[in-house]
Amino acid sequence: MSLQQDVKVKLLYWYIENGRSVVSAQRAFKVDYKTMKAPARNTIMIIVEKMEEGGTVGNRKRKGPKKTVRTHENIQKIKKKLADPPHRATRRLSAETAISRSSVKRILNDAIGAFPYKIQMQQKQRESNQKKRVQFATYISKMIEEKLLKITEVHGSDEANFHLSGHVNKQNMRFWALEKPEPIAQRPLSTEQLVVWCAVAHDRIIGRTFLKMRMVKPVRKPVEIPGNAEKILPSQYQETW
């Protein structure tokens, strides 16, 4: 039970006035505050001990300086670790500096002003990509203008690859840095994956279709294809399996 300062003083007065009786102090409390509940015996005795030892019913001040690990030495230690590639997560920083992970987070946030960045997976862009995209867009636009292609026959498709081996888990991975880094980490594609395929037509969404594959350069070899894939995918997409 959390008690105000004036309530503690009254309890101490009733305790001493009634011959140092805890029960009498509790009864006086119930009468004065018109309640059926009174502070416990331990609560009253703690108030008495504080008064006898420190001359006050309030909380005693802690002696000595407040302990902290956010020293200049520790801040510089973590700051130096951030400057050395590769960038580190808080668990690794904690292990390398022998500082608790919670303290590492406080130093990163408050003292250094670092920010947690999330891994992003991007395809490598070549110089020829932009030129090919412009050529394709111009070609399709011309076909639509000349009525050689109906807009209803145009389907936009995309796919997402999920590594089953746990190669990259960017959802729960964060690394800290003073500014957004631009590292490039090349990884082989010859790992088993779950491919989620979907296409968008002018009036409907085609899919979702799940394909379990093993990515092997330069071709993609399916390991398993669901039995209803032929019914779901239009004929013009079946040749790309």
pLDDT in tens, 91-104: 888 888 888 888 88
Asked if residue 87 has pLDDT above 70, the reply is: no
In a domain, 38, yes or no: yes
Q: Can you give the residue range of the structural domain that contains 199? A: 154-238
In a domain, 224, yes or no: yes
Averaged pLDDT of the chain? 76
In a domain, 125, yes or no: no
Distance separating alpha carbons of residues 85 and 73, to the nearest angstrom? 20
Angle, helices 5-17 vs 22-33, to 10°: value is 130
pLDDT in tens, 114-147: 887 776 666 677 888 888 889 988 998 898 888 8
pTM for the structure as a whole: 0.34
- How many folded domains does the chain comprise? 3
Same domain for 108 and 171? no
Please state which of the ranges 13-17, 85-89, 179-183 shows the lowest mean pLDDT. Answer: 179-183
In a domain, 211, yes or no: yes
Give Cα separations from 25 to 5, 47, 90, 135, 219 (angstroms): 16, 12, 53, 92, 87
Same domain for 50 and 76? no
In a domain, 166, yes or no: yes
pLDDT at 215: 53
More confident residue, 163 or 107: 107
Same domain for 19 and 46? yes
In a domain, 60, yes or no: no
Same domain for 160 and 220? yes
Buried b (16+ CB within 10 A) or exposed e, 19-49: eeebeebbebbeeeeeeeebbeeebbeebbe
